[in-house]
A and B are shown apart, each in its own frame.
Chain A
Amino acid sequence: MSGLDTLAPAYPEIFMSISALVLLMLGVFRSKDSTVLLTWLTVAVMAGAAFLAVTGIDEARTFHNLFVTNAFTIFAKVMMLVGAGLTLLLISDWAVGEKVARFELPIIVLFAVIGMMLMISANDLISLYVGLELQSLSLYVLAAFHRDNIRATEAGVKYFVLGALASGLLLYGSSLVYGYAGTTTFESIATAIENGPNTTGIIVGIVFVISGLAFKVSAVPFHMWTPDVYEGAPTPITAFFSIAPKIAGLCLFMRVLAGPFEPLIEQWQQVIILISILSMIWGSVAAIAQKNVKRLMAYSSIGHVGYALIGLVVGNEEGARGLLFYLLIYLVMNVGTFAVILSMRVKGKYLEDISDLSGLAKTRPGMAMALAILMFSMAGIPPMAGFLGKFYIFVAAVNAGFYSLAIVGLLASVIGAYYYLRLIKIMYFDAPGAAFDAPSLTTGIIMAGSSVLMIVLFVVPAPLVNGAQAAARALFLG
């Protein structure tokens, strides 16, 4: 294998890493504040990486089997890059006129995204861990970015301590797996588990790995950090937290469980079923009492992770397709909702309480309309795309015989519908408060675009479902 053959499958990652270094230099040596410029350049870099990923090699392993690329990883990467790019646009909008914003912000986001790319492509427990740490370390810094704010620093410290604990659990599990199998490569672990006598040791190892990963996607009972971190971090950073790392984390989760640990499916299925049920129920129930929009979104994302995990439980092609499609819909819904939350400004001051939305339909009907559509979609009510996302997941569960899981999911979404619909009630039927400032152009476009997409995707989901199908097939081929 010549040098270029080795590097070619990782062109998107290499391109992003070099660009990150160049942008960092640009930020340091440019005397003016370059946050906005760098944010746009970072978006361009992500677009370039997505282009390289799509046009690059379909199916390859490289770097001594540490790195893999196939239709599944390409689909996941592009989805994650789109989510990260859109949230970066929100960041650039917010950075104008915010004292908190500095040029390091987009750079650290870019490094976090590189970490997620490495995670999605990991084909070995060590490369999984290195990618995960690159991502987590960047996220800790982002959470505490608003460093003079006591809540933000608390969020950062909390996230860091708990995250380090979760990484420890993951590493401990990995070491047990390595001790059992004698290798860290995904394929060899799968063969070892298939051939060998399977005892408690390997199962405990898998459970530890699952706990570590469940923390990273904030599934119950490893979700405690989520509301505090979401509330403390600057709003566009919260948007970033709730989208790209979730997509990367869940795709990695899928690859780990369907890859090396596939032979032990009966063992891990029980664990994931429990996590999924707890996340769905707790995500819906705990959200009811929330007063802060960002905390509400935290619980909402916990709930959504619960639904997405059903696709994982099923553990076949249909489940993977459901998971990917669900993540796509989730991405669009969340970007749109956070665009609305970022527009909750009165005279340049950001508001975060749910009650601030009251009477929005009278003061800003367009915004209220967009949020109403997004909330209907979050609740999974047709004719919005959120319904289809849940539909494909539940169909996969029912076809595989997980009736109880589907029923719990349905019940949880009914409970969840209460607080999503409550927002709509507050906007349309309560007395109007102070009118919000007009949203900026980018935010407005993202808001309108995502709510229109919710309806469009409901009518023509086929292209995306087919894409997800192809990606899911690649996952189970090898």
Chain B
Amino acid sequence: MIVASLAFYLFSFMAVIGALNVIFQRNPVHSVLWLIFTFFNAAALFVLLGAEFVAMILVVVYVGAVAVLFLFVVMMLDINVVVIREGFLKYLPVGATIAVILLAELAIVAGGWTFADRANVLRVVRTTSEVSNTEALGRVLYTDYAYLFQASGLVLLVAMIGAIVLTMRRRPGVRKQKISDQVNRSSKDTVVVVQVEPGKGLS
């Protein structure tokens, strides 16, 4: 048990350090690398909770796809952090006030929290205890929640169409590789053998 709690404190401490570094780095590329570090620690925390599927999803999706995408965006956009931070001091008082108010509200909410009578009973999705987490999730996701699964598919489709609509341009005159043309080309169409007499050149 002591190992588990030690591991918990280690990973959560590292996650907090990583998160702080994400905001305080001057170089946005470093920020993204710290973000990846934070994701790994969060994944480790999920493993400690016994949610290995969520942990793996976090690594595969967030580290493998989202963070790498961020990295590309950051590198391509060449963001100047100093310019972005210009208004920081100006907006600090307003932002800080709102943050403090929200924090106080959260404290009030958390302090007086009660659960509804049967909340703990309702929260549990019944599955047989024999199966692994992943299998249990799959059984619920593709049966009870098939509707949400399909609807989310539509959401992703719209996102894809939207990205294409807003960015793809059909420019005329762009040369593209046409493999069939290349293969069908024969030497007769393109190569001409010319006898050149010495000293005269081609006219």
List chain A positions with a Cβ less than 8 A from chain B.
10, 17, 24, 63-64, 66-67, 102, 104, 107-108, 111, 114-115, 118, 126-127, 130-131, 133-134, 137-138, 140-141, 144-145, 147, 156, 176, 179-183, 188, 192-193, 195-197, 199-202, 204
Chain A positions within 8 Å of B120 at CB level: 182
Beyond A140-B162, A197-B114: 8 further Cβ-contacts under 8 Å? Answer: A108-B165, A115-B154, A134-B158, A137-B155, A137-B159, A156-B166, A182-B116, A199-B112
Write out, one digit per residue, whether chain B residues 117-155 have a CB within 8 A of any chain A CB (1) or not (0): 111111100000000000000000001111110111011
Chain A positions within 8 Å of B144 at CB level: 64
Residue of B nearest to A147 (CB): B166
Using A111-B158, A126-B148 as known contacts, say yes or no to A141 and B116 having CB atoms under 8 A apart. Answer: no
B122 touches A199 (CB 8 A): no
CA distance A138 to B165 in the complex (A): 11
A sample of 19 inter-chain contacts (CB < 8 A) reads A63-B146, A64-B145, A64-B147, A108-B162, A127-B151, A133-B155, A137-B155, A137-B159, A138-B162, A147-B166, A156-B166, A180-B113, A182-B123, A192-B119, A193-B116, A200-B109, A201-B109, A201-B110, A204-B105
Using A130-B152, A182-B122 as known contacts, say yes or no to A195 and B116 having CB atoms under 8 A apart. Answer: yes
Chain A positions within 8 Å of B151 at CB level: 118, 127, 130-131, 134
CA distance A141 to B160 in the complex (A): 11
Chain A positions within 8 Å of B158 at CB level: 108, 111, 134, 137-138, 141
CA distance A127 to B114 in the complex (A): 25
List chain B positions with a Cβ less than 8 A from chain A.
105, 108-110, 112-123, 143-148, 150-152, 154-155, 157-159, 161-162, 164-166
User: What total count of A-B pairs have CB within 8 Å?
Assistant: 116
A201 touches B122 (CB 8 A): no
Chain A positions within 8 Å of B112 at CB level: 199-201
Chain A positions within 8 Å of B105 at CB level: 204
A192 touches B166 (CB 8 A): no
A113 to B: closest C-beta gap in Å: 12
A159 to B: closest C-beta gap in Å: 12
Interface of B is mostly: helix
A33 to B: closest C-beta gap in Å: 11
Residue of A nearest to B149 (CB): A130
Residue of A nearest to B163 (CB): A141
CA distance A463 to B103 in the complex (A): 52
Residue of A nearest to B113 (CB): A201
Using A104-B165, A141-B166 as known contacts, say yes or no to A192 and B116 having CB atoms under 8 A apart. Answer: yes
Residue of B nearest to A142 (CB): B162
CA distance A126 to B148 in the complex (A): 8
Chain B positions within 8 Å of A180 at CB level: 113-116, 119
A182 touches B113 (CB 8 A): no
Chain B positions within 8 Å of A176 at CB level: 109
Chain B positions within 8 Å of A183 at CB level: 119, 122-123
B115 touches A104 (CB 8 A): no
Chain B positions within 8 Å of A141 at CB level: 158, 161-162, 165-166
Which of A10, A64, A115, A196 makes the CB contact (< 8 A) with B114? Answer: A196
Which of A67, A130, A176 gathers most chain B CB within 10 Å?
A130
A65 to B: closest C-beta gap in Å: 9
B116 touches A104 (CB 8 A): no
CA distance A196 to B122 in the complex (A): 13
Residue of B nearest to A7 (CB): B147
Residue of B nearest to A205 (CB): B109
A188 touches B122 (CB 8 A): yes
A112 to B: closest C-beta gap in Å: 8
Which of B110, B115, B154 gathers most chain A CB within 10 Å?
B154
CA distance A209 to B29 in the complex (A): 36
A200 touches B115 (CB 8 A): no
Using A64-B144, A66-B147, A201-B113 as known contacts, say yes or no to A134 and B155 having CB atoms under 8 A apart. Answer: yes
Residue of A nearest to B157 (CB): A111
Which of B114, B123, B150, B166 makes the CB contact (< 8 A) with A201? Answer: B114
For the complex of A and B, the 7 pairs showing the least CB-CB separation, nearest first, are: A182-B119, A196-B116, A141-B162, A192-B116, A63-B147, A182-B122, A182-B123
Chain A positions within 8 Å of B108 at CB level: 200
CA distance A188 to B118 in the complex (A): 10
CA distance A118 to B105 in the complex (A): 33
Residue of B nearest to A127 (CB): B148
Chain B positions within 8 Å of A179 at CB level: 113, 115
CA distance A134 to B162 in the complex (A): 12
B165 touches A145 (CB 8 A): yes
Using A133-B155, A134-B155, A204-B109 as known contacts, say yes or no to A67 and B147 having CB atoms under 8 A apart. Answer: yes
CA distance A262 to B123 in the complex (A): 22
Residue of B nearest to A65 (CB): B144
CA distance A182 to B115 in the complex (A): 8
A21 to B: closest C-beta gap in Å: 8
Using A192-B116, A196-B117 as known contacts, say yes or no to A134 and B147 having CB atoms under 8 A apart. Answer: no
B148 touches A182 (CB 8 A): no
Chain A positions within 8 Å of B113 at CB level: 179-180, 199, 201
Which of B117, B121, B145, B161 makes the CB contact (< 8 A) with A108? Answer: B161
CA distance A24 to B113 in the complex (A): 49
Chain B positions within 8 Å of A10 at CB level: 147
B113 to A: closest C-beta gap in Å: 5
A152 to B: closest C-beta gap in Å: 10
